[in-house]
Structure 1
Amino acid sequence: MSLTLNHTVWATATVLLGTFLLACEPDAHSFSQTATDNSMSEQEVPYYYLELSVLDARTVTTVNGVGVDESDGRTSASFNSPMNALLIGTENTVTVTVRPTMVAAGDPPKSGKLADADSVRSSTVEEAKVTAKIKKITSGTVTPESGTTLVEKSLQEVVEKREEALRKQFLEKLEEAPPEEKKALADQEEELTSVEFPIEMELTFDSEDVPSFRDRFMEAPVIEDTSALKDFAMYARDLLDKKKIKEFFSPFSSKYEIYRTAYPSRRKEDRFEWFRKMMEEHVYPKGILIDFEREDIELRRWAGGRVWEINVDRGEGVSDEFILTGPGEKGRAFMDIFVGKVDGELKVVR
């Protein structure tokens, strides 16, 4: 999955690619210059933010079915991400799926790098720490620290409620069991009342005071022809190779219309000129890693198949973002591509 886990890469790439990095607003943690710029300016519409903190757990987070973050949780990870460009008006749903990660053996486990550990193991439900918040910022300068918390949920809270429900079910089953089965059933109490990974944390909220993009993410056509997605990816690769920036920029028109609507302060900008300058001055000089073939293209399904993430398998230890540069002086720049159908054509929508 192209949701990068490297915070240093995120910081560098955010500076270099700005809004184009809105692969998932953010990934772990590339959110765009749209977010960065607006965090230092007066807002024109309410902003809805997702705040997530993760430790000793591996998480995948979606907003209305579209991936926005992936974290391995080996070190304390957190991010603040504006969500306006993914909102659908009512019953917005943020889902955080929690699984174990690898930790250095010990009690408690030693979080962080595992290279120096004598042995490693999977983290437990009790050790995992995940908190998610939905915040709304309605006035003043937009910063991740400002705003009102609409919904907040912790993994511990979810686990406790599920344990309570499982115990209730167990006691009812035990009461209804024939006398000759009660002892055997009682011996399974711990097994039947324990919460195991994976665990889903779900937060819902409404956003009727900002534009809705339900038609792009919930009501768009389902894409079944994955070969067309690979055709799209190879076409984009060839344009990058030939440095045809204007042609490469064209499929992003739908994405930019979404962001211009979601973030009004972006409407006056000439996004192509900004993009051309970033590509010519910051991306191409680093060297784009485009030495891949059709069989290296990897596709990830989101939003019930209405949105597809296009990644590249470059081998172990190399990030899989569709656009990835050489390391350069300040690290790599990268860009994710999420594609959907708009007016019958494949377009970049995230």
Structure 2
Amino acid sequence: VWELTEGENGRWYGRGTADCKGNVVMHLTALRALRQVDGAYPVNVKVIVEGSEEQGTGGLDDFVPENAELLRADAIAIADSGNAVIGLPTLTTTLRGMAAVDVSVAALESAVHSGVFGGPAPDPVAGLTAMLASLHDEEGNTTIDGLDNSGVWEGQQFPPEMFRDAATVLEGVDLIGSGSVSDMAWARYSATVIGIDIPSVADSANSIQASARARITLRIPPGGDATESSGALVSHLRSRVPWNLEFKAEVVASGNPFAASQGGPAYRALQAGLEEAYGKEMITIGQGGSIPLCDVLQETYPQAEIMLYGIEEPQCLIHAPNESVDPSEIEHIALAEALFLKRYAEIPA
């Protein structure tokens, strides 16, 4: 039997409570309210819950273009984002794209004793580490040959102290990069090593490893291209392979960045719903994360308005073991969505 884990702060804790179970509950709450109050939905509604997005690509990314008529719509509401802070109605207007690349280097047919062979024998772990270090300069800016990383975010800014709190940055540790937090997180490339195949400290032995492998995710700002950007990343790393180590690279997932159109009838109806639900003026922000499906939907339905919002404000700590959701955000976003659907139905066709 499932039991609710509720913190003293009133938040509900559990993996996926915000990303995206809370958003699914929000949709259902909005639709249930409309049925109970009006007896029917004011517009035709298609509800889709995706379970494969966290894998990177596949799933709906392939299904949508293959079944374009089945999912065709005038307005597409995607609840996989959130307010800038609790209680401040927010629409996300841009997303960075993403490319995941596996790189490996090899030097030996098998691991060998580090005392007997250490010195002349090349160490793939050290070689790979040096290659990965070349992806950032001394300030922490992502530096990949052929990619311009000087973008500037012109809209609502992400306050540095709020970012530090949301990212749980330790006291005394610096934020990195030469731009503002919004520039670095929403308008520029960022490369992150998310996995590395080498022996753990607990399992280590006095050996030089035969090979080493890492997975890198490259976040791609609006205006960039996932194929070109992943190619630049691979070329950058290949040019920095030391000691003629054997080098291999594979792009395992990719998706282009996304920029939403603003000001259309659905956008205005949703803005009105958000502002009525919260009693505050709506703001717009970018997001550093990626939702490859958004680009697929934009290409498949170029006339549709695509809107990103949801219950995932920064304190949710999505993907963390202590992920949580503020139930008041589910309440307010559900109300906003119900108001949006009613207002959208009133717009002349």
Output the TM-score relative to the length of structure 2: 0.24
Greater per-residue strand proportion: 1
Which one scores higher on RCO, CA 8 angstroms, separation ≥ 6?
Answer: 2
